[in-house]
Structure 1
Amino acid sequence: MLRLGLLLLLVPAIGMMVGYMMEQSLIDACLDAGGSFDYAAEACDPVGNHAFVPFSARKPLLVNGGMLLSTLGLFLCLGGLYTRRS
């Protein structure tokens, strides 16, 4: 139970971080080229100007699902580490 808990605790968090950082590298490259990043189309627009949309608003299933799985993993870790005192 402890191994499953650790897996559920860490893998979703790492997955969210990897997804966020990959998207941030695209945004940074677009801004360095002088464009504006269109968050709805996930593409660089050299002409228009686009408003910022948070990662959690663009990918709610990834963020909320990852947080739910991480919370479940935390409780499984707590259950796996729990020992009764005699």
Structure 2
Amino acid sequence: MRLCELREKEVINCRDCRRLGYVCDIEFDICSGCISHIIIPGPCKIFGILGRDHEYVINSCNIKQIGVDIILVDVDTEKCLVKCD
């Protein structure tokens, strides 16, 4: 699967059936060459006009299923929400 195909898939959290968004970036493990994390933009600030300062960083072991249109993950959204660099 190519990155452009991965970015078109919507990420859904299985725990609360909440839509997290679309994949914007991925992190690789240099030693193994495998994907270690997927990164999804976090919630918007006030009315979406001030941008975003957090993102969801989801470990690859939390990915449950990659389907045709969606990626199912099982995460605690509070724990995977991190401040952008």
TM-score w.r.t. length of structure 2: 0.20
- The structure number with the bigger radius of gyration is 1
The one of the two structures with greater contact order (alpha-carbon pairs below 8 A, sep at least 6) is: 1
TM-score w.r.t. length of structure 1: 0.20
Higher helix fraction (1 or 2) = 1
